[in-house]
Amino acid sequence: MRLRRSLPFTLALLTGCVSTPRHPAPPALMDAAVPDGLSTNVRLLSIDRRHFLQESPVLLRDIRRAADGSLDILALSGGGAGGAFGAGALVGLSRAHARPTFELVTGVSAGALIAPFAFLGPDWDARLTAAFTGQASASLQRSPLMSVASRLLFPQGFGRHDPLAALVDRYVSDAMIAAVARERARGRRLIVATTDLDKQETVLWDMGAIAEQGSEAARKLFRDVLVASASVPGVFPPVLVPVHEGTRHYQEMHVDGGVTTPLFAVPLIAQILPADLTLLRGAHLYVIVNGQLVAAPATTRLSTAAILERSFSAQTTYKTRETLALTLGFADRYGLGLRISEIPGDYPFGSFIDFRPQHLRALFDYAAACAAQGRLWMTPEQSLHRNLDAPPPSPGGTVACPAPAP
């Protein structure tokens, strides 16, 4: 009993003492630092207007050149275990032969892990299915309280046993990276978000530009960015990215992109300040929210783990709603056709950190079936109606698909 009572005090004491050394971060907000081993910069700070205005005309021309008729953009949100929804949705669209070839794919957190498969198309569906429904993803299952305690004591992880990094290493192969590079040469773009904790800003990484470098450093960075984008603080360790500016060397700390943005179609600066994005007019923007915008009430247990988990979930839900409202305004401004899909509020989703195979498989199969039936995509108005006036589950326990029947 004495040992149990002393454990919280011991953890608190050790937390104050344990500190992992690292190199300093770049001192300027708008710096010109380049990841070590790469010949050019491959990312954009989401609030860097000068860099965005310089690079966006090239990106817009390239994705327009790559488009065969319509210009299709896919934005994948974070959501932890909810990523099984987005993965299933894409596979279901493939089965229905209704999956566009997306000229631009963006991903955050769990959405970042889906994004390369979404970008490369149906030929990668078997690997996408295995990544989000197989036993490998079950290794991500852990106690939230024990995760927080271990991160307090060992912020970079204990040893090298990081299940998220192992999952990425297993499914993000050299063949995938080479395929992403080939598609970028055609003009298509794959963009992933992380959060730079030193700057407390969103960083958008051009994964195709990284892949085109072709070096071992580039292959490592490609994987590290995906790991960082999904590294929920306190659950998975951060990723330290070595960079240099001239002869000065630094380290940046990157974590889950969802800390600063739940999803994105364009950098934040493009939604706030005017920019010439007229080449986007007439494009189709598809948004997959790997979570719920409305959830059924549930009694929160009086435990630290439950309170932390529910608080994080509520914060993410509200931040996603706000971002969708910004996205809707952006789509109206530039004449984009916006379609949304998300896990309905009446689906028994449970926890975003529930990586049990049966939970992931059920959600994957639900999304795949709805997509195959043509009942995945909604207008913003239909999404609002579906969430606020959700039909009760049928006697068999099934949940209606996100979109109404065609």
Catalytic residue among 56, 109, 231, 341: 109
Catalytic annotation on 256? yes
Catalytic annotation on 162? no
| Rounded distance between C-alpha atoms, residue 67 and residue 372, angstroms | 24
Catalytic residue among 72, 162, 206, 256: 256
Upper half-sphere CA count for residue 253 (Cβ side, 13 Å): 17
* Catalytic residue list: 109, 256
